[in-house]
Structure 1
Amino acid sequence: MASLLRMSIRASVGALERSFVSSAATGILPGLQKDSGTLKPCRHGLQEDTPSWSVRCQATARYSKHAVGQALGQPVVQQDLKRARQRELESDSDSDSDSDTETRRKPQRKVKGNSEFWRRKMRTFHGLIDLNRDGVVSFDDFLILAERFVNLGHLNPRQQEEFQEALKVVWEDQWGLAHPYNMVTTEQYLENMHHVVNDRSLRSKAHEFLPHLFQAVDKDKKGYITVQEFIIFFECLGLGEQDAIESFKIVDINGDGVVSAEEFVKLGREYFLVEDEAHPSKVFWGPLISP
């Protein structure tokens, strides 16, 4: 009798275990009926309409640890974290790939001042503003330049002061302290101007003295200068009359016989920025030195 009781208990426990595993595999807890009608309640939980044990074995074999955890309301934290980390790494990889692609597609800004023609223009200007002809440029040369234009008598006291201050600012921004022993050689000037033309903030204010030069030679304050006044401009730079006439023919782009203040400043500035050998600004500061 006791033996039969023990066998009955084992059978009941086994049936209960099998029904629990089967129910976990399908996401249905014991005592509930699946909507499709393939499972129905019984005394031991759930029983399939199809009594084939192989079907239950297949369902159990397909069942994963992750699904059991979900059926019991217990998340499989380790696997979830592993999958989340994998997705994060894949996302980072995609982002890095997109960033690299954008970097490759972004156009590189062209560096100015690398042509021999541009260097030739800078050497020309360095020699031009070396007014005392000692082979280097110092603030003394700037003072001589200011004195020549002021002595034309076309600037009032306030304009004279503004002109001298503008030259001082240009010197200090580019070469530092304004004193006679701060001297700039040709190669130093080339290196400095290469930095200036490639720096937006310096490039925008490097030649702020140009409007003052125009005011100094615009004798009648008309807002434009004639070839005669352009000759005066060249004389202050130590250049000859014929050079001025030849340059004026080129910088007077529209051929109306005058150069406005806007054209004067624009061409004077473009001399330092443009590397096109056919551009009219190339003769703004007189003939170029020999290559």
Structure 2
Amino acid sequence: MTEDVKAQKFSTLFRWFDQNGDGLLTHDDLQGMAELFAGLARAGDKENASAMRNAFETWWQLLLAHGDSDGSGQISRQEFITVMETNVTDPRHFEEAVLAIADALMRALDTDGSGMLSQAEYVRMYDALGIPPVHSEAAFRLLDQDGDGALSHAEFRSAITEFYLSADPKAAGNWLLGPIDQAT
């Protein structure tokens, strides 16, 4: 890889978040992602849909406060990478900005209360979020650490944490959005 592993993952994330593809993140882009995620909650599941929206708003406020170096109300790819590395992934913010989304998403999708996501549920979720099934199917196999055919809440959280925090190019969590050099 030509870029630092984390920078490459954050570039992938930036492209995924950049809803209109203009190369800049705005409040509208993050709200669009929040609505995509909130839309995965069952009808009437206002608690988890609201938790996801609130977490994306927290994330946007962190981006704006720590990454908008020119005060434009827009975040460039480089500003995003920098603020992700220095602020969003800081333990003081990571839980409320990133893991809060993962936790609400898991609660929303775990309709039977088993604490698990099947491969079909996982693939459907990421397909609805714009990740091609070929990528999410491969990711699921890597992320299912115990090989039981399901992702537990702990495995899902672990994958998300690895995606955001690991600099290891071989970390399974790197596949969360598909191969980092091809995803989104």
TM over 0.5: yes
Alignment partners' CA distance in 1, 2:107 and 2:26: 24
Q: Which residue of 1 aligns with 2:26?
A: 138
Q: Which residue of 2 aligns with 1:186?
A: 77
Shift of the 199–245 alpha-carbon distance from structure 1 to 2, 3 Å rule, reads closer
Of 223, 237, 246, the residue aligned with 2:129 is 237
Alignment partners' CA distance in 2, 1:198 and 1:163: 17
Q: CA deviation at 1:130?
A: 1.5
Of 148, 154, 162, the residue aligned with 1:262 is 154
Deviations 1:17-58 (A, max 9, x none): xxxxxxxxxxxxxxxxxxxxxxxxxxxxxxxxxxxxxxxxxx
Larger Rg: 1
Alignment partners' CA distance in 2, 1:198 and 1:164: 19
Q: CA deviation at 1:248?
A: 0.5
Shift of the 203–161 alpha-carbon distance from structure 1 to 2, 3 Å rule, reads closer
Q: Which residue of 2 aligns with 1:161?
A: 50
Q: CA deviation at 1:150?
A: 2.9
Alignment partners' CA distance in 1, 2:97 and 2:46: 24
Q: Which has the higher contact order (CA 8 A, sep 6+)?
A: 2
- TM-score for both structures, normalised by structure 2: 0.82
Equivalent position SS for 1:209: helix
Bigger mean CA deviation after superposition, 202-211 or 265-274: 202-211
Asked if 1:288 corresponds to 2:176, the answer is no
Q: Across the two proteins, how many residue pairs are aligned to each other?
A: 173
Q: Which residue of 2 aligns with 1:89?
A: none
Alignment partners' CA distance in 2, 1:244 and 1:203: 23
Alignment partners' CA distance in 1, 2:109 and 2:26: 24
Alignment partners' CA distance in 2, 1:200 and 1:146: 22
Q: Is the contact between residue 231 and residue 244 of structure 1 (CA under 8 Å) also seen in structure 2?
A: yes
Q: Which residue of 1 aligns with 2:69?
A: none
Of 117, 123, 146, the residue aligned with 2:11 is 123
Which amino acid is the alignment partner of residue 216 of structure 1?
Answer: A
Equivalent position SS for 1:256: coil
Q: CA deviation at 1:237?
A: 2.4
Alignment partners' CA distance in 2, 1:161 and 1:201: 21
Q: Is the contact between residue 234 and residue 241 of structure 1 (CA under 8 Å) also seen in structure 2?
A: yes
| Identical pairs, percent | 23
Q: Which residue of 2 aligns with 1:150?
A: 38
RMSD: 2.3
- TM-score for both structures, normalised by structure 1: 0.54
Q: Which residue of 2 aligns with 1:96?
A: none
